[in-house]
Amino acid sequence: MYALAAGGATVYAGGTFNQIGGQPRNGLAELLVSNAAATDWDAKPSLGALALGLTAGTVYVGGFFSGICDRPQNGVAAISADRTLGVGNDPGAVGGRLTAKPNPMRGSVEIQYTVARTGRVRLDLLDVSGRVVRTILDEVRAPGRQLTSWSREGSRARIAPGLYFLRLKAPDRVTTTRLAIVD
């Protein structure tokens, strides 16, 4: 087991196992805290999870998988309790891709995304545990392609080098992609 994320009456486990809590699971499982039994929730990653984060009913999963929730998906995913997949680096995602360039970044990054309809858009930088480290954007945006620049140097406190996730919450979807920050 490589990762655990607890929330309420359940805990999510990630690793290289193929059975846990009395049920077959391929490296990712939801377990009941009361008796450690596996629930019916099964995201079916092609390989196990190495990092997990949990916020407001969404499990953030990082690993070397090439598929999850019966869909092609590489390395990072945001999965709701009902197994709805919010994806990063997926050109088929509703509204288009969420991209960050350069990635890895040193000083600043340009973040590009598409908004399908007018509404509040929030762009957060999350650490590998799913904790919001910085809110980059939180405002109403019109439909269309958007470009936001962000500098880690201009922030209140400098962001340490490491692996992070960018999470875009738009009126029609939640999309996540990974971002590496280096010195």
> pLDDT for 42-78, tens place per residue?
888 998 888 888 876 788 888 888 888 888 777 888 8
Task: Sketch the domain layout of the chain as residue ranges.
Answer: 3-85, 99-181
> pLDDT for 123-150, tens place per residue?
999 998 889 999 999 999 988 888 999 9
Superfamily of domain 99-181: Macroglobulin (MG2) domain (2.60.40.1930)
Quick one: DSSP state of residue 38? B
Query: How would you label 47-56 residue by residue, b for 16+ Cβ within 10 Å and e otherwise?
Result: bbbbbbbbbe
Place of tokens 């999470």: 167
Name the range with the highest mean pLDDT among 2-6, 11-15, 81-85. Answer: 11-15
Q: How far is 24 from 40, CA to CA, in rounded Å?
A: 11
- Mean pLDDT calculated for residue range 5-17: 88
The Cα-based distances of 146 to 27, 118, 140, 143 in angstroms read: 36, 12, 12, 8
